[in-house]
């Protein structure tokens, strides 16, 4: 799916008849991060914003919306999941619970 607007003349390939796909991110309230909530098809980014408001905030789920063309997202490779993330498991000294603090010292 291309983020470029579909060419209406090109009807041979069914996929080209869809508007481009956008990923939608919503800030549920001031002070929180935008969070991925889903996707939708829209003719361009401005259109995607207005449609995201109607599709994803019908129950006051948000106060701010981001949209990103789906094909603009670069993702880490699933097959590198183990080598990327497993080595972090052994670095237990990064966590506060690794350290014993004598009870007399109190909260730290």
Partner 1 sequence: MLPESTLLTLADTCLISGHRLSEWCGHGPALEEDIALTNTALDAIGQARALLQVVAARRSPAITEDALAYLREPAQFANLALAAAPNTDYAHTVLRSLLLAAWLVPVWDALGHSSDHDIAAIAGNAAKEARVQRRHARQWWVRFGDGTAESRRRAEAAVAALWPLTGELSAVRIPGVDPDAVLSAWWDAVQDAFAEATMPLPTAAPPLSGELAAQAAQWRHALLGEMQSLARQHPGARW
Partner 2 sequence: MYTQAIDVGPVDATASRSTTPQDDEFLKRIARDEKIEPQDPMPEAYRKTLIRQISQHAHSEVVGMLPEGGWITRAPSLKRKEILLAKVQDEGGHGLYLYSAAETLGVSRAELIDALHSGKAKYSSIFNYETATWADIGTIGWLVDGAAIMNQVPLCRCSYGPYARAMIRICKEESFHQRQGFDIVRTLCQGTPEQKAMAQESINRWWWPTLMMFGPHDADSPHTGQATAWGIKRITNDDLRQKFVDVTVPQAEFLGLTLPDPDLKWNAARGHYDIGRINWDEFRRVVNGDGPCNAERMHDRVKAFDDGAWVRDAAAAHAAKAAARYATSPDTRIAA
Segment lying near partner 1 (by CB under 8 A), choices 37-45, 64-72, 77-85, 88-96? 37-45
Query: Residue 40 interacts with partner 1 (CB under 8 A)?
Result: yes
Query: Residue 7 interacts with partner 1 (CB under 8 A)?
Result: no
Query: Do residues 98 and 55 lie in contact, with contact meaning Cβ atoms separated by under 8 Å?
Result: no
Tokens of 108: 């730290």
Tokens of 96: 């506060």
Applying CB under 8 A, which residues contact partner 2?
A: 1, 4-8, 14-19, 21, 37-41, 43-44, 46-47, 50, 55, 58-59, 75, 77-79
Whole-angstrom distance, CA of residue 38 vs CA of residue 48: 12
Contact footprint for partner 1 (CB under 8 A)? 8, 19, 40-43, 46-47, 50-51, 54-55, 58
């Amino acid at each position: 799916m291309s983020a470029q607007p579909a060419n209406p003349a090109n009807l041979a390939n069914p996929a080209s008849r869809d508007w481009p796909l956008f990923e939608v991110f919503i800030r549920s309230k001031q002070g929180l991060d935008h969070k991925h909530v889903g996707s939708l098809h829209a003719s361009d980014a401005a259109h995607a914003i207005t449609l995201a408001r109607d599709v994803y905030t019908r129950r006051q789920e948000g106060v701010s919306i981001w949209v990103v063309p789906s094909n603009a997202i670069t993702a880490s490779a699933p097959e590198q999941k183990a080598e990327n993330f497993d080595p972090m498991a052994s670095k237990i000294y990064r966590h506060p619970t690794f350290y014993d603090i004598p009870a007399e010292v109190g909260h730290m």
